Amino acid sequence: MLHDITLGLVYAYKILVVKVMNLDHNLTKQIEEICAARGVRLTSQRKQVFELISSSNKAASAYELLEALKKNEPQAKPPTVYRALDFLLEQGFIHRVESTNSFISCCSCNAHKHFSHLLICDKCGDVIEVQSEHFISSLEDNAEKHGFQITNHVIESHGTCQICSSEINNETIEEDYAR
Ligand SMILES: [Zn+2]
Ligand SMILES: [Zn+2]
């Protein structure tokens, strides 16, 4: 059991480390500029946590981020990551995926505060952020009818992403041929 957990962590860590190589430097540059304009400090740790999240192709948990961060910052502790996450959430650079308690980078981090609809793949952990003003305003209209004032939305859908469902289809076809 413990072995399984360790293997899982090593795997998650590898994904994060490998993915940092695919980092989009423009995104980092963009948040650096936003922070400078807002007069907030993007410390090296905050920046590294952001880069780990934005370069990962799946939502990353705080624990995975800590393990990956330790590579450059061996002294990093859980509060280091939580503080960095709080900052990034507050600035709107990342979103928390509530149902899996993990984090993704925002697809429009320079935009105003917004609510998104998250499509979460249960097979690969990929999360797609969909922004639909229309959808959110329809939810707000419904709430208004009940005199209800919305302060926060958590709109998350679970399922299978396009890549994973095409893999499932291919497997089924191969199985059919094997018969
Ligand atoms: Zn967003
Ligand atoms: Zn998937």
Q: From ligand 2's centre to the CA of 9, what distance in Å?
A: 19
Report the distance separating Cα 179 and Cα 177, nearest Å: 5
CATH code for the domain in which residue 81 is found: 1.10.10.10
Residue 177 domain-assigned?
Answer: no
Give the count of domains, the chain.
1
Q: From ligand 2's centre to the CA of 4, what distance in Å?
A: 22
80-136 residue pLDDT tens? 999 999 999 999 999 999 999 999 999 887 666 788 899 999 999 999 999 888 888
Annotated binding residues for Fe cation:
114, 153
Higher pLDDT, 110 or 5: 110
pTM of the model: 0.78
Bridge-partner residues for 128, per DSSP? 119
Mean predicted lDDT score pLDDT of the chain: 85
Is 101:89 a contact under the CB 8 Å cutoff? no
Q: From ligand 1's centre to the CA of 112, what distance in Å?
A: 9
Token pair for 141: 């209209």
Annotated binding residues:
114, 121, 124, 153, 161, 164
Nearest to 123 by CA among 151, 167, 160: 160
Q: 56 lies in which domain range?
A: 25-169
Residue 4 domain-assigned?
Answer: no
Residue 113 domain-assigned?
Answer: yes
Is 52:65 a contact under the CB 8 Å cutoff? yes
Q: Which ligand is nearest to the CA of 123?
A: 2
Residue 165 domain-assigned?
Answer: yes
Q: What is the DSSP-derived secondary structure letter of residue 113?
A: S
Q: Which ligand is nearest to the CA of 97?
A: 1
Residue 152 domain-assigned?
Answer: yes
Q: Are strands 117-121 and 127-130 parallel, antiparallel or unpaired?
A: antiparallel
Residue 6 has pLDDT above 50, yes or no: no
Q: From ligand 2's centre to the CA of 101, what distance in Å?
A: 17
54-88 residue pLDDT tens? 999 899 999 999 999 999 999 999 999 999 999 99
Residue 12 domain-assigned?
Answer: no
Residue 158 has pLDDT above 90, yes or no: yes
**pLDDT of amino acid 47:** 96
Residue 153 domain-assigned?
Answer: yes
Q: From ligand 2's centre to the CA of 123, what distance in Å?
A: 5
Residue 9 domain-assigned?
Answer: no
